[in-house]
A and B are shown apart, each in its own frame.
Chain A
Amino acid sequence: MDVPPVVMLDPIDSLRDRRADFPILGETVHGRPLVFLDSAASAQKPVQVIDAMGDAMRTQYANIHRGLHWMSERTTDAYEAVRGQVAGLIGAPAREEVIFTRNSTEAINLVAYSFGSLMRPGQAVVISEMEHHANLVPWQMLRDRTGIELRVAPITDDGDLELDALERLLADGKVALVAVTHMSNVLGTVTPARRIADIAHAAGARVLFDGSQFVVHRRVDVQAIDADFYTFTGHKLYGPTGIGVLWGRRELLDAMPPFMGGGDMISTVTFEHSTWAGLPHKFEAGTPAIIETIGLGAAISYIEAIGYEAIAAHEAALVAYALPRLAEVPGLHVVGAPAERGGVISFTMDDVHPHDIATLLDRNGIAVRAGHHCAEPLMRRLGLSATARASFALYTTREEVDALVSTLTQIRGFFV
């Protein structure tokens, strides 16, 4: 009997068949095949997500939590089932601790407003130098509203968090919350979450991780990293826009006042007074993003079917391939060299501005992001006004990295 040969696929090629799940990848841009290297801004959607949302609207849709009819009950079941999926995805101990928001920005604003309302002047929040504006501006607003202090933990020139400095910032015991990214959208830095949590907890502070980039590439276990709050957004995770997640420890969420008032978040209402619903509904005022939540559920099913192990291996291999290839481009400088990098590579090029790079790449069908990536203070810290950024997804191929490298080489030649 012939034994079929065992073919070990290179991790870069292992997910190649999954490209067929993403209809948009068959499109052309300016007459060239689309090479989409801007997934860190927002990922493309597999047909499984597209169909789940369409099917819900075609066959099973009504408002949730309020209808006494079949359609409402079934739609409520579908919506609430996603809460369980999210809990499973991130290792949350209870589904009620999963709060649906519009995106990660709203999730952080919720914590800044609601947890922040329990803070007192003299207390402090610590963020890092590499935060997205979403994890900076809400804390500035809280500071200006309540008189708390906002402290910024430095990063090294390589783009890693300076843990010693973080410890020093916490030493006076005034810090109530450390809020940092789990993976930088500019540098690709994966932060040592468990160590950060340990440092925060040792000083009596709580810790929030912005996992918007991380959950796309690696499995997070909020209990293993000992997080107190964790946020992410659906649209970067191959799901739709308009749906994000806040996970928080029950005892914290229970103690926090509601963020927004309205329907669905109340227990009883009179003209004089209202009482709040329990978790998670206390934080979900009004009709939520039902269709988008169902889409997020389909995205999570899609991710789980592929498996984070395969996704992480693909990404690590792609980054390991891309970094030396990019180094071949004359005048190109990769920004940062973090100890652990996810599938995000920012770069600059001598004599060519990032916007000119992005425009010329676009004319050749290659989509990257250029600018400050919603991290202006980080740009200033790095001494840059802008970078170009290529970011990878599970559908990214070696050939797409090759196309990026060869087009960048042409662009450089064009300008010099």
Chain B
Amino acid sequence: MDRDGLYQRQVIERARAPAHAGPLEGATGRGEGTNPMCGDRVRIGIWFDGDGRIGTVRHQARGCAICLASADMMAELAVGQDQGGAVTMGRSFAALLQTGQDGGVRPELMVFAPLRQHRSRIRCATLAWSALEAALTGTPAEDSKDG
């Protein structure tokens, strides 16, 4: 069925029962990523802790299993990062999927590495990270025709 291991159990479980989905009211920063080609949309809210680091991230994701699981994992991994660290984390992840170069990507994200073989689906996984960057930098997330 899933011979290249794109849909690992972890991805399906996260998509089905995300740990970090929830209301965004009261968030310090908010961002959105959309994919006009498929209608997927991820909205996120960030709450910072006293040191200016990300304390909590919640998401409201509408999309496929890859999109939902990636949003949930992003919400987990971004915690404890400052702005620069979180943006770098997202960009390294995108680079891994787009070029195959593993420039220090968190090992938890390697579950999405098989997407490298599914170019049209890469945007599904990076959408939440675009929303995070938009929330952190205050710029709208760039739409993509991928996915």
Contacts and interface: CB of A to CB of B under 8 A. Distances in A.
Contacts of B37: 371
Nearest to B121: A359
Contact of B2 (A351, A355, A363, A376): A363
A386 interface: yes
B63 interface: yes
Contacts of B67: 353
B39 interface: yes
Interface residues of B, number: 22
B48 interface: no
Contacts of B39: 371-372, 376, 379, 385-386
A410 interface: yes
Interface in A332-378: 351-356, 359-360, 363-364, 370-372, 376
Given A355-B38, A359-B121, A376-B39, A411 B62 contact: no
A353 B4 contact: no
Contacts of A414: 1-2, 7, 12
A30 B118 CA distance: 12
B62 A356 contact: no
Contact of A415 (B38, B62, B65, B124): B65
A363 to B, nearest CB: 6
A360 B67 CA distance: 15
A370 B6 CA distance: 18
B7 A355 contact: no
B8 to A, nearest CB: 11
A355 B1 contact: no
A363 B38 CA distance: 20
Interface string B22-64: 0000000000000001111000000000000000000000111
A386 to B, nearest CB: 6
B131 to A, nearest CB: 17
A78 to B, nearest CB: 37
Interface in A149-177: none
A40 B12 CA distance: 30
Main secondary structure of the interface of A (DSSP, over half): helix
B106 interface: no
Interface residues of A, number: 23
B62 A360 contact: no
Interface in B109-127: 118, 121, 124
B38 to A, nearest CB: 5
B7 A356 contact: yes
A370 B39 CA distance: 11
A353 B1 contact: no
A385 B1 contact: no
Contact of B7 (A354, A360, A372): A360
Given A30-B3, A386-B38, A355 B12 contact: no
B2 A360 contact: yes
A406 B6 CA distance: 20
A385 B62 contact: yes
Interface string A386-416: 1000000000000000000001001100110
Contacts of B2: 360, 363, 414
B12 to A, nearest CB: 6
Top 7 closest A-B pairs, CB basis? A353-B64, A355-B64, A385-B39, A356-B64, A356-B65, A371-B38, A410-B1
29 contacts: A30-B3, A351-B16, A352-B65, A353-B64, A353-B67, A355-B38, A355-B40, A355-B64, A355-B66, A355-B121, A356-B7, A356-B66, A359-B6, A360-B1, A360-B2, A363-B1, A363-B2, A363-B3, A363-B4, A370-B38, A372-B39, A379-B39, A410-B1, A411-B1, A414-B1, A414-B12, A415-B12, A415-B16, A415-B65
